[in-house]
Structures are given as structure tokens and as C-alpha cells.
């Protein structure tokens, strides 16, 4: 392994350790000494890569934002295909690298956590996948691939499902991820069920 490869491998160790601890203990509750210990390096070496905990947090957020921009690179055939392609790509990558699932949990915490510096909370919230996906819901409703209904609600339903699946997978990786089609089918237009006519037995 070259020196450059060693540095990159160590940097990844630090990032993975930090994500684990920030999710487990929160940003404020995590000390740099705990991060260095989890990463298997000295605290001095940690500071060589990331001079402050806030700089490390910002680096993690930027990594998370790159992942959140992934849907914007999809070239879909129709509205429903966009949501299928994203779920398929995400689940495949998460199976290969569980860190991806943890990043979903981390980014969700960062946006809501009060102990995160305001500047970084705003940075984490700067990519709104729910709002971005509205255009694909509208496109799907126009091309007949996506059910009718409030565009924002449908987009939100899909992303809540994705986040929930990723959070659970980060906790229970032994449970297989669902098929991408199962998730996309929530939006499929051919499910014409009149829920108002369904009578539940008490």
C-alpha cells in the first residue's frame, strides 16, 4: 500500500468512526478522544486529518450531500422509473457498503439536532430530495405511471419509506433489503383501491 493509499484508508477509518459515534451519542456527546479510539489511532493523528470536531462534521455532511444529489443523476424513462431506479441503486450500494445506510441516519439527525452548529444544519438541509422528487411525481401522473394524489405527499411517502428502510438496515443488516419494485409500487398508478369503501372489523 502506498503512502497516499494509507492516508486515504486512515481518513475513511476516521469518517466511519465519527458517523457511528455521532449517531450513537450525538455531536455534542461525542469527544474527539472517542473518535480516535474507535478509529484505532491517536488523538494527535486525528487532529492532523481534521483539526477540529466541527471540521470533521462538515466533511461528513458534504459526503452526505453528495449521496443526496445522486437522484439528480438518474435518467428515467417515466416518472415511476425514476423512483424504481433510485431504490434499486441505493439498495445495491448499501448491501455492498453499510456505511451508506448509516449516512442516511446521520443526515437525518444532523438536520434536526439542536447541538449541531446552525451553519452546518442549514448546509445539511440544502438538498431537499422530497421537493426535487415532486417533478418526477408530476411527470409520472402525466405519463400515467404514478397514481393521482397530492404531489408533495406522494414524494414524502416514498422518501419516508427509503429513510426508514435505511435506518432499520443500519441497525439490523441481517434482515434483507426489500426489492426496489416493492417500494416503487407504492406510487404505481394501477393500484386502484377505494380505501374509503373498506370496512375494518372491530
Q: What is the CATH classification number for the domain harbouring 19?
A: 1.10.10.60
Same domain? For 14 and 67 the reply is no
Same domain? For 64 and 101 the reply is yes
Same domain? For 65 and 42 the reply is no
What digits encode the pLDDT tens for the residues 55-94?
A: 999 999 999 998 888 877 888 889 999 999 999 999 999 9
Same domain? For 47 and 64 the reply is no
Same domain? For 15 and 79 the reply is no
Q: What is the mean pLDDT of the chain?
A: 89
Look up cell 466541527; give the residue.
54
Same domain? For 106 and 157 the reply is yes
Residue 200 falls inside a structural domain: no
74 SS3 class? coil
Residue 114 falls inside a structural domain: yes
What digits encode the pLDDT tens for the residues 108-156?
A: 888 888 888 999 999 998 888 888 899 999 999 999 999 999 999 999 9
Res 201: pLDDT:
44
Closest CA relative to residue 81, chosen from 89, 114, 39, 195: 89
Provide the phi-psi class of 149: left if phi over 0, else alpha when psi is between -120 and 50, else beta.
left
Are 101 and 94 contacting, i.e. CB atoms less than 8 angstroms apart?
yes
53: Cβ–Cβ under 8 A, 6 or more apart, which residues? 27, 30, 32, 35
Provide the whole-model pTM. 0.82
Instruction: Please state the domain count of the chain.
Output: 2
Give the domain range for residue 140: 60-190
Same domain? For 176 and 84 the reply is yes
Q: How far is Cα of residue 41 from the mean position of the Cα atoms in its chain?
A: 28
Same domain? For 144 and 47 the reply is no
What digits encode the pLDDT tens for the residues 39-53?
A: 999 999 999 999 999
C-alpha–C-alpha distance, residues 158 and 25, integer Å: 28
Amino acid at each position: 500500500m502506498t503512502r497516499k493509499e494509507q492516508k486515504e484508508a486512515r481518513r475513511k477509518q476516521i469518517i466511519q468512526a465519527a458517523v457511528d459515534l455521532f449517531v450513537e451519542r450525538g455531536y455534542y456527546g461525542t469527544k474527539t478522544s472517542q473518535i480516535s479510539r474507535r478509529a484505532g489511532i491517536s488523538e494527535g493523528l486525528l487532529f492532523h486529518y481534521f483539526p477540529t470536531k466541527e471540521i470533521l462534521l462538515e466533511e461528513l455532511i458534504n459526503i452526505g450531500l453528495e449521496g443526496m444529489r445522486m437522484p439528480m443523476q438518474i435518467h428515467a424513462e417515466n416518472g415511476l422509473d425514476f423512483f424504481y431506479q433510485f431504490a434499486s441503486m441505493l439498495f445495491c450500494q448499501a448491501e455492498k457498503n453499510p456505511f451508506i445506510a448509516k449516512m442516511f441516519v446521520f443526515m437525518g439527525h444532523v438536520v434536526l439536532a439542536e447541538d449541531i452548529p446552525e451553519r452546518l444544519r442549514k448546509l445539511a438541509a440544502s438538498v431537499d430530495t422530497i421537493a426535487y422528487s415532486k417533478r418526477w411525481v408530476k411527470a409520472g401522473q402525466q405519463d400515467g405511471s404514478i397514481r393521482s394524489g397530492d404531489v408533495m405527499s406522494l414524494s414524502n411517502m416514498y422518501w419516508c419509506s427509503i429513510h426508514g428502510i435505511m435506518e432499520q438496515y443500519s441497525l439490523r443488516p441481517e434482515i434483507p433489503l426489500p426489492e426496489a419494485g416493492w417500494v416503487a409500487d407504492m406510487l404505481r398508478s394501477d393500484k386502484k383501491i377505494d380505501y374509503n369503501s373498506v370496512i375494518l372489523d372491530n
